[in-house]
Amino acid sequence: MRRWVFSMKMLRRRIGAAALAWISGLMIDGAAAADFSAPMSPEPAGIGDLYIRGDIGWSFLEWNGGPDDSAASIGAGVGVMWNEVLRSDVRVDWSGNYEMTVTDLDATTLLGNTYIDIPLDLIFAPVRPYAGLGLGWGWVDDDGKGDDSGLTFSLMGGAIFNMSEHWAIDTGYRFRDIMLDGADFTDHSVTAGALFKF
């Protein structure tokens, strides 16, 4: 009788131990699976990517040396995305021919720009409103008064619409000031362009 009782106790212990081991194994496997499926906090996409850009737009001139006018503008540049919110590029922009009463006037600028992007994930597309500042040099070609050049700065704002992994559309506003010996060249531009990210 004692042997039978002893055997029943041993059987219960073994069943309990096996059940405990089985439950522990499930918990360990579940934890391992959770660790495997959890995001590894990868580096945000796009960081360090180079990009090229092209822009077209319309420039509204404020010329203290003559009447205000407007003209087409085009630009191109190359840049890099430093992190999720900071990027920089170098751009060459040209605008003209402004019809200045008797003469035509053109303006060309070479600017290094830095932008702060604000990521927003909307239903139709990821959108990044931005603000930017540029500094560089500008050249003004006035058929009547000759050429002149000077330090140039710009202020920018707009939004980037990411269309795919590589393509984005940039729509924005830019204020630009070329500091000349006489009256400064200043203009306000509305622009639209495309970015291709490598």
Q: Which residue has the tokens 């050049």?
A: 149
- CB half-sphere exposure, 107, CA atoms < 13 A: 33
In terms of pLDDT, which residue wins out, 52 or 98? 52
> What are the distances in angstroms from CA 123 to CA 81, 119, 120, 126, 127?
24, 13, 10, 8, 10
CA dihedral 25, 27, 32, 35 (to 10 degrees): 180
pLDDT value at 94 more than 90:
yes
Among 48-52, 107-111, 145-149, 150-154, the minimum mean pLDDT is found in 145-149
pLDDT at residue 168, as a whole number: 92
Residue pair 174/155 in contact by the 8 Å Cβ criterion: yes
Distance CA 56, CA 141 (A): 20
The separation between CA 52 and the C-alpha centre of its own chain, rounded to angstroms, equals 12
pLDDT value at 123 more than 70:
no
pLDDT at residue 43, as a whole number: 40
In terms of pLDDT, which residue wins out, 117 or 16? 117
Class of the CATH domain delimited by 50-197? mainly beta
Span 11-29, average pLDDT? 55
Instruction: Break the chain into its structural domains and give their ranges.
Output: 1-38, 50-197
pLDDT at residue 139, as a whole number: 96
In terms of pLDDT, which residue wins out, 141 or 66? 141
Residue pair 154/109 in contact by the 8 Å Cβ criterion: yes
> Element (H or E) spanning 64, and its range?
none
Residues in the chain, total = 198
